[in-house]
């Protein structure tokens, strides 16, 4: 078996004990090409973000950096600007030929809630080597909004890969000719490039900018919060905006993207030299994303953008990121947007599911 492991094979891994959970993993956690991970019952407030490092455990590093512990059982607020480590309810006993990569879920990224997976012996965030046996931890750093969390909440997800799954640029061009991955002419270079839409829609709105002093967001509350309390609308009639250093924006891609049922994709940042900003916190695109949306013409990708040291002019049609396509080991039993409830299928410019729709 070579490729991204689909839902039906994830169930087999759970049955074999390759993936463990305490309490037991639920069916609701299993996605077409990934598994949602659940927060445990305690959060450790730490002085700084860290990696365990070769030969070290996360528990050992917590002894160095822990400031205090928070019981999440009754619900607890993780404060903006602070760093927390939360043991997850899942653990791994991976076979030697299987590696894993983790990422924040879509709604997590759209809240500017930096969430990364840390493992024992790890030298990279979100990357888990073949044969890893041990616990999983989430590093959580709320960047724009403080959040209320409870045990069992699912902020990040993990995807498993056997062998080489990534498509070369030539293979990606072939797939585009067969399926039409994007409307318009594809920009294919180390993945499928996508650009930002700053043309403006209703009332010339092209995006949203997080307000700097908003209230707490309870992550269990769906379609609850008034966007006006948390976001400023970004408008332009000139096809460009100036990103402010330190500000967080929700924008949308100009292209409508399709992920065929036998492939998956991950959003990767564009070359750093193109500008002083970062695009993407949540990066998994499931099989079937955009495939059945709007008559099969694709779904646009929401962009989570943070500007760095200097103000930066972002212009309509500017390439800001790329999608890396990977083969599935088999087509999943369920597809995004077709067989499961999918909050963002057929989306345009859209905030996280916690906010009321306009």
Q: How far apart are CA 140 and CA 27, in angstroms?
A: 25
Look at 74 and 201; give whichever has higher pLDDT: 74
pLDDT tens for 257-271 read 999 999 999 988 655
- By CB atoms closer than 10 A (0-12, 13-18, 19+), residue 213 is exposed
Rounded mean pLDDT of the chain?
A: 90
Q: How far apart are CA 304 and CA 102, in angstroms?
A: 17
Q: Which two tokens stand for residue 87?
A: 């043991």
Q: What is the pLDDT of residue 185?
A: 86
Q: What is the pLDDT of residue 345?
A: 46
* C-beta of residue 309 within 8 angstroms of C-beta of residue 251: no
Q: What is the pLDDT of residue 270?
A: 56
Residues above pLDDT 70, as percent of the chain: 90
| Domains contained in the chain, CATH given | 3-162 (2.70.40.10), 169-327 (2.70.40.10)
Global pTM value:
0.92
User: Is 70 exceeded by the pLDDT of residue 296?
Assistant: no
* C-beta of residue 34 within 8 angstroms of C-beta of residue 159: yes
Q: What is the pLDDT of residue 290?
A: 84
Average pLDDT for residues 188-212, to the nearest whole number? 89
Q: What is the pLDDT of residue 344?
A: 45
Cite the DSSP H helix spans in the chain.
Answer: 7-16, 58-65, 106-110, 169-179
CA distances from 301 to 216, 315, 353 (A): 26, 17, 15
CA-closest candidate to residue 65, choices 57, 73, 76: 57
Residue 240 pairs in a beta bridge with: 315
């Amino acid at each position: 078996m070579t490729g991204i492991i689909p839902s039906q094979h994830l169930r087999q891994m759970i049955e074999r004990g390759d993936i463990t959970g305490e309490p037991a993993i639920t069916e609701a956690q299993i996605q077409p090409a990934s598994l949602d991970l659940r927060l445990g019952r305690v959060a450790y407030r730490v002085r700084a973000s860290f990696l365990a490092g070769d030969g070290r455990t996360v528990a050992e590093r917590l002894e160095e950096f822990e400031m205090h512990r928070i019981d999440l059982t009754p619900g607890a607020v993780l404060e903006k600007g602070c760093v927390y480590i939360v043991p997850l309810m899942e653990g791994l006993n991976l076979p030697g030929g299987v590696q894993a990569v983790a990422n924040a879920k879509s709604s997590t990224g759209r809240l500017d809630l930096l969430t990364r997976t840390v493992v024992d012996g790890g030298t990279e965030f979100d990357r888990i080597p073949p044969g890893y046996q041990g616990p999983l931890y989430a590093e959580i750093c709320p960047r724009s909004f403080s959040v209320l969390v409870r045990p069992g909440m699912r902020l990040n997800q993990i995807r498993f890969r056997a062998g080489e799954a990534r498509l070369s640029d030539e293979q990606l061009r072939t797939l585009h000719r067969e399926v039409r991955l994007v409307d318009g002419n594809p920009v294919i270079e180390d993945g499928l490039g996508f650009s930002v839409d700053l043309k403006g829609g209703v009332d010339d709105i092209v995006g949203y900018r997080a307000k700097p002093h908003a209230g707490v967001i309870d992550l269990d509350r769906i379609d609850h919060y008034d966007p006006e309390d948390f976001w400023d609308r970004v408008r332009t009639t000139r096809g460009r905006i100036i990103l402010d250093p330190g500000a967080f924006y929700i924008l949308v891609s100009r292209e409508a993207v399709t992920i065929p049922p036998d492939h998956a994709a991950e959003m990767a940042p564009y070359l750093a030299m193109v500008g002083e900003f970062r695009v993407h916190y949540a990066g998994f695109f499931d099989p079937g994303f955009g495939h059945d949306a709007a008559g099969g013409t694709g779904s646009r990708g929401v962009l989570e953008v943070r500007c760095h040291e200097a103000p930066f002019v972002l212009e309509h049609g500017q390439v800001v990121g790329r999608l890396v396509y990977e083969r599935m080991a088999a087509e999943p039993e369920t597809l995004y947007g077709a067989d499961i409830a999918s909050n963002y299928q057929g989306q345009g410019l859209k905030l996280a599911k916690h906010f009321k729709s306009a």
